[in-house]
Structure 1
Amino acid sequence: MIAKEVLMAGETTLPKMLRQNAAEHGSKLALREKKFGLWQGADWNHYYQTARRVAFGLWALGLTKEDTIAIASENTPEWLYADLGAQMIGVRVTGIYPTNPWPELQYIVKHCKAKVAITGDQEQTDKVLDALKFEGGMPDLLKCYCVDNKGMREYTEDHLGSFDDLLALGDAYRAEHPEADAWLDAAITEGTPDDVAIIVYTSGTTGKPKGALLSHRGIIYATHAYAEMVGLEGLDLETVSYLPLCHVAERCYGPVMHLVMSGKINFAESIDTVAANVREIAPSYMLGVPRIWEKLQSGFVFRVNDSGKIRKKAYDWAMAKGRVLSDRRIATKGDVSFGDKVMSKLLYWGMFRNMQRFMGLQNSRVRMCGGASISPETLRFFDIIGLPVGQGYGQTESAGLAFVQTDTSYFRTGSSGRAFPNTEWKLGEDNEIFLRSPGVFSGYLYNDAATKDTVSEDGWLATGDIVEVLEGDEIAIVDRKKSIIITSGGKNIAPSEIENALKDSPYVKEAIVVGEGRKFLGAIIQIEYDDVGRWARDNDIAYTTFTSLAKLPETRELIQGIVDEVNGRFARVENIRRFALLEKELDQDDGELTATQKVRRAIIETKFEAEIAYIYGGTKA
């Protein structure tokens, strides 16, 4: 068992942790994926030995310490085999979102000078082939190995191979070099905590993605500190992996947490089957981005609405009673009366137990929301039904989280919790938060200027986030410093709170508040196609496509009612005076969204020129 003080200080490496887990838990289940309708598992020994085969294969290709490989794939065991195998010999790993189009893949592979690409399937391989053909190609790339070669029988390119080919190459290298095992053992042992383990490219909401260099020390520290603060230690950890592994949150609180806790990872079949897979597995720990929690909530609510009047009334009554209990629990900081405890039990057995089981979360002890801000009403929904979802604060450059909510008896609305042990923080003049901890990154790849702008010589990370300090040294995120809107009247307004309030409605998928240098605030709104479509059908309103639905006057009236209701929650200067409805869905391929589905704010003024003209000029181009 790895000592707690070693983990807290990050005084080890991921390959060393894998080696130790294999030695201590060799035959224990480590990984599972679903094939042909059945869950099939691999133990720690298989995980470790397959990663070693990858390491030998990369050596055979001539890769050495501080070279880079790129992985473009959905979440699979092979992702982890390649990840840890590369790190065993000091090769850095960068992940690429499976949703990225080929120009974005090309930019990352060229920028990090990756020598090997691991692809998940034909679609990802085709992107690599396109990136090789156009706009200068990828001159450093030597080979591409694909995990699932279905549909690729006619591919004849010399630099293409299967993942099994890479493993076979490693086996041949090992057979030709009797000392290979000793060499690899030595390489793992000689790896240091401050070696760069992974390169995580930022989402690029305000410009080109930058490659953040994260060390073994940083990601192990951030992961273990989180596990200790939320009480995961001693838990039989079982998770469902579905968020992209190239994202720092999934990487740290999926595979790295798996190594820290010696737990089990179950790989979802696809993003479309997450809900079904979660119900099958009933994980003990659940990490979700806001969209997942919102979908779980709206999916159940619409199911109830379709289930008949009696069940609907029972649900509404239980939720109303539960909200009262939730309000009191928050007001008393978890110090609830005996009567409230009895009522909570009755609601659980009468309604909420079935809701938890329907979502597959009945065994979950810790639930976490990461990646972006989330609607307070969504968080309140899960608190009411007995599944409080914790929040935290951090960013790629801090190896994931640096603050987290810990007291599960109540979560203060809007709070991001307290700082991790060994994390220092301070506020700048404009309330920007600065962090210093073992989790702070090593800098940006090939970008010294950006590194100097972000990390001071004495290790303080300038986050670019404006915060408010709450009671008990908890913090609340106000907004990104670059996102603050200054109106022509000189008022500073944080748009995210208004945007989240609009997205409280199941009928609003995205909201972008505008108003920089203007007399009043406006909003560009994208409707939630499925939910607004269901509303239209229920009200006998005809439509054919997203565009026709968005253009309907009835749809505009529906959204106007939501805007009016939200305006009532804010001061007049923060009211949305006029809004424009998008007539198409925002799309990553069109450059409007990042791979994590965040709006690229850098392009708002140009991309949404027609909508802004309508809001402030009265006509729509």
Structure 2
Amino acid sequence: MEYKNASVSVDGNSVAEAYRQRQEATPTATAHLVKIDGSYRPVSWETIHREVLGIAKALFSMGLQKGDRVAIMAHTEPRWNIVDMALLSCGFVTVPIYPSSTPEDGAFVLENSEAKLLFVGDPKLLAKANEIFAAAGTTLPLATLKDEAISSGALKATGYKEWAFQAVDDETKKQWRALSETVEAEDLASIVYTSGTTGQPKGAMLTQYNFASALRMVVDEIDLTADDTLMTFLPLSHILGRVDSLAPIFAGIIGAYAEDINSISRNIQEVRPTILISVPRIYEKIYDKIRTDVDAGSPIKQNIFAWAQTVGRQVVRMRSEKEPIPLALQLKFQVADRLVFSKIRAKLGGRIKLTASGGAPLAQDLCEFFHACGIKILEGYGLTETLGPIFVNRPDNYRFGTVGIPIGTAQVKIAEDGEILLKGPQVFKGYFRNPEATEAAFTTDGWFRTGDIGEIDTRGFLKITDRKKELIVTAGGKNIAPQKLENLLKLSPFISNAMAFGDKKKYITALVTLNEENVLGWAKSHELSNVSFEELVNHPKLRELLDGELAEANKKLASFESVKKIAILPNDWTPESGELTPSLKVKRKVVVSRYQDYLNRMY
């Protein structure tokens, strides 16, 4: 695959300024790698800019003014990013809507933001727009990311080609530049509505400077260069995916777009990226696949893998603590790398130099495993309100079990009750049209209340204990962080999702859902191939298997926090089914409400 690297970084104080610098400095460099007719092809910055100008011309003709809000409801794809750049470069305000949003939430976002236009990704999402408009009692002009116009009932969305591929004259170019140059650092760039587990969404107001500061810091702190290719697959409605998609502007890296969430493994092989940014669930799935392959192999293969893991974990723990590694252990690690770890790297394209994880806590065991493979997962921490990562481990300065140290000029302090408080140029300005929530989000002296509990160690690394409102307090008065327990359970290749429970109870229990593919594979190898998945859920042999997985997880927990019982649920949780947020976090109140009978039977 041939493409031209940008080789120039930019440092504008707004996304609009940085975008102008990028398209002027490196117009022929590759911006995107896009799957077209079965193969990945490079798309240059000048090609993208022609589409940006076409979209801008259409927006001008509609009479949109700087500061007007435009909503996007689409799955991750290059055109989402191109529309976003068109909006940001002109001073319009991007309002993402999750494709999995309920009609009521979508209606609230459109009404609260007073959006003037809605982009939809495809016909299914146009049909959803119909439901949203019905809930809102109003309609908006529509455009689609599909080439041609699409319809649903009385709704029609203008095709992408009609706008982005239209002829652009010098007058439009001058109008775009004149408007772009009026965009200031403190202008509103995006309203990102939090996907919280309860209540109405809150619209975090993020400025052009918030974006520029956060992106420049990320580029500097994790050493992104123009030689890097970043695989993009996270939802662009989520702030981590948004940072991912806009990083090429500032770093000159190439953004390669996965076809969809189910094609990631194949697309990684095709693109051979150097960087991945993801949420923990994706890394858990990769690890599950590796373990399943090993478990299906010979006893010799399983023993070699177990030995390599032991050696690898010893080495990476010593590296993390900056301890010298004995020569004998170095030699063992070289053998482990040749026999096991190099093959895992090859399956992930062979070029990955680092990966980043955020959006939810990452199990330490998982992080250590990938480091041993030579794939550094740099766990970070941030929220929508901090425009993504505000803490991150560095490639040469990391500590397992932590989310790293502050990036750039960000400041942190721990409140008396353990809550993490933050300040910095990437911290949002407040919630849109919600002064009460804004006031509650900040201390009287201007520190942002994260709602998370944490502690800073002697080396300055931040360790997250849990969400302030999600701590389990047992009947015995013990405070327990549920995500720690859940992450250990999800290390099992047979468990897809888990939720710990036990507030005001004598002991901890958990609800678990199954990885159907791996469970069926196990059943086939244990003379249960004729048993349906629905029957397996209640089969005593599966219960015995999962009890063993539970025992393994409990070995890493103190006695008071160990999980005494689990209930196996018949269906997995997804954002569409309502138990998970779009960033794959468990909606605890929803789960407790739906599965109260299962919980009651464990006490």
Fold agreement, TM-score > 0.5: yes
Q: Following TM superposition, by how much is the alpha carbon of 1:143 offset from its aligned partner in structure 2, in angstroms?
A: 2.5
Pick the aligned partner of 2:582 from 581, 595, 616: 595
- Matched letter for residue 286 of structure 2: L
Partner SS state of residue 469, structure 2: helix
Change (3 A) 1:138 1:545: farther
Aligned residue for 1:357? 346
Pick the aligned partner of 2:337 from 343, 348, 356: 348
Q: Following TM superposition, by how much is the alpha carbon of 1:437 offset from its aligned partner in structure 2, in angstroms?
A: 0.2
Change (3 A) 1:571 1:322: closer
Pick the aligned partner of 1:247 from 238, 257, 278: 238
Structure 1 residues 75-90: aligned runs within 5 Å: 75-90=76-91
Q: Which runs of 5+ in 1 are unaligned?
A: 617-621
Q: What is the CA–CA distance in structure 2 between the aligned matches of 1:21 and 1:539, rounded to whole Å? A: 57
Instruction: Verify: 1:387 aligned to 2:375, yes or no.
Output: yes
Aligned residue for 1:209? 201
Q: What is the CA–CA distance in structure 1 between the aligned matches of 2:484 and 2:102, rounded to whole Å? A: 31
Q: What is the CA–CA distance in structure 2 between the aligned matches of 1:612 and 1:347, rounded to whole Å? A: 43
What is the CA deviation profile of residues 397-439 of structure 1, one whole-angstrom value per residue up to 9, with x for unaligned ones?
011111111144x742211111112111111111101000001
Q: What is the CA–CA distance in structure 2 between the aligned matches of 1:148 and 1:98, rounded to whole Å? A: 19
Instruction: Verify: 1:166 aligned to 2:163, yes or no.
Output: yes
Q: What is the CA–CA distance in structure 1 between the aligned matches of 2:537 and 2:112, rounded to whole Å? A: 40
Structure 1 residues 9-408: aligned runs within 5 Å: 12-132=13-133, 134-139=134-139, 141-149=140-148, 152=150, 157=154, 159-167=156-164, 171=167, 179-232=171-224, 234-252=225-243, 254-330=244-320, 332-333=321-322, 335-360=324-349, 362-408=350-396
- Matched letter for residue 325 of structure 2: V
Q: What is the CA–CA distance in structure 2 between the aligned matches of 1:610 and 1:450, rounded to whole Å? A: 34
Aligned residue for 2:3? none
Query: Is 212-221 or 311-320 further displaced after alignment?
Result: 311-320
Aligned partners of 1:526 and 1:582 also within 8 Å: yes
Aligned residue for 1:563? 550
Q: What is the CA–CA distance in structure 1 between the aligned matches of 2:266 and 2:337, rounded to whole Å? A: 22
What is the CA deviation profile of residues 169-201 of structure 1, one whole-angstrom value per residue up to 9, with x for unaligned ones?
x75xx65xx744323212111101111112222
Change (3 A) 1:3 1:149: closer
Aligned partners of 1:206 and 1:601 also within 8 Å: no
What is the CA deviation profile of residues 511-554 of structure 1, one whole-angstrom value per residue up to 9, with x for unaligned ones?
21112222222211222222222222211125655432222122
- Matched letter for residue 185 of structure 2: P
What is the CA deviation profile of residues 129-165 of structure 1, one whole-angstrom value per residue up to 9, with x for unaligned ones?
2323x334344x1223342559x5x757464221122
Q: What is the CA–CA distance in structure 2 between the aligned matches of 1:94 and 1:563, rounded to whole Å? A: 42
What is the CA deviation profile of residues 56-110 of structure 1, one whole-angstrom value per residue up to 9, with x for unaligned ones?
2111112112221111222222212211111233211122233345444333333
Q: What is the CA–CA distance in structure 1 between the aligned matches of 2:440 and 2:27, rounded to whole Å? A: 45
Partner SS state of residue 403, structure 2: coil
Aligned residue for 2:408? 421
Aligned partners of 1:512 and 1:525 also within 8 Å: yes
Change (3 A) 1:306 1:3: closer
Q: What is the CA–CA distance in structure 2 between the aligned matches of 1:341 and 1:553, rounded to whole Å? A: 44
Partner SS state of residue 283, structure 1: coil
Aligned partners of 2:23 and 2:45 also within 8 Å: yes
Instruction: Verify: 1:469 aligned to 2:466, yes or no.
Output: no
Aligned partners of 1:325 and 1:340 also within 8 Å: yes
Aligned partners of 1:122 and 1:149 also within 8 Å: no
Q: Following TM superposition, by how much is the alpha carbon of 1:340 offset from its aligned partner in structure 2, in angstroms?
A: 4.0
TM normalised by structure 2 equals 0.93
- Matched letter for residue 357 of structure 1: A
Instruction: Verify: 1:488 aligned to 2:487, yes or no.
Output: no
Query: Is 562-571 or 480-489 further displaced after alignment?
Result: 562-571
Change (3 A) 1:255 1:486: same
Aligned residue for 1:509? 496
Q: What is the CA–CA distance in structure 2 between the aligned matches of 1:363 and 1:534, rounded to whole Å? A: 30
Q: What is the CA–CA distance in structure 2 between the aligned matches of 1:96 and 1:71, rounded to whole Å? A: 6
Q: What is the CA–CA distance in structure 1 between the aligned matches of 2:364 and 2:430, rounded to whole Å? A: 34
Aligned residue for 1:619? none
Change (3 A) 1:311 1:571: closer
Partner SS state of residue 422, structure 2: strand
- Matched letter for residue 333 of structure 2: S
Partner SS state of residue 465, structure 1: strand
Aligned partners of 1:31 and 1:266 also within 8 Å: yes
Aligned partners of 2:393 and 2:403 also within 8 Å: yes
Aligned residue for 1:524? 511
Query: Is 603-612 or 501-510 further displaced after alignment?
Result: 603-612
Aligned partners of 2:87 and 2:94 also within 8 Å: yes
What is the CA deviation profile of residues 189-225 of structure 1, one whole-angstrom value per residue up to 9, with x for unaligned ones?
1101111112222121233322111112112212221
Q: What is the CA–CA distance in structure 2 between the aligned matches of 1:250 and 1:589, rounded to whole Å? A: 19
RMSD over aligned Cα atoms: 2.5
Q: What is the CA–CA distance in structure 1 between the aligned matches of 2:446 and 2:174, rounded to whole Å? A: 37
Aligned partners of 2:68 and 2:115 also within 8 Å: yes
Change (3 A) 1:606 1:149: same
- Matched letter for residue 356 of structure 1: R
Aligned residues: 598
Partner SS state of residue 199, structure 2: coil
Aligned partners of 1:543 and 1:549 also within 8 Å: no
- Matched letter for residue 349 of structure 1: R
Q: What is the CA–CA distance in structure 1 between the aligned matches of 2:301 and 2:592, rounded to whole Å? A: 47
Q: What is the CA–CA distance in structure 1 between the aligned matches of 2:402 and 2:277, rounded to whole Å? A: 18
Aligned partners of 1:78 and 1:147 also within 8 Å: no
Q: Following TM superposition, by how much is the alpha carbon of 1:25 offset from its aligned partner in structure 2, in angstroms?
A: 0.7
Partner SS state of residue 158, structure 2: strand
Q: What is the CA–CA distance in structure 2 between the aligned matches of 1:157 and 1:224, rounded to whole Å? A: 44
Partner SS state of residue 17, structure 1: helix
Q: What is the CA–CA distance in structure 1 between the aligned matches of 2:318 and 2:427, rounded to whole Å? A: 38
Aligned residue for 1:533? 520
Q: Following TM superposition, by how much is the alpha carbon of 1:587 offset from its aligned partner in structure 2, in angstroms?
A: 3.5
Pick the aligned partner of 1:435 from 422, 434, 450: 422
What is the CA deviation profile of residues 326-352 of structure 1, one whole-angstrom value per residue up to 9, with x for unaligned ones?
34434x525334444444334333432
Change (3 A) 1:106 1:540: farther
Change (3 A) 1:546 1:329: same
Q: Which runs of 5+ in 2 are unaligned?
A: 1-5
Q: What is the CA–CA distance in structure 1 between the aligned matches of 2:557 and 2:254, rounded to whole Å? A: 45
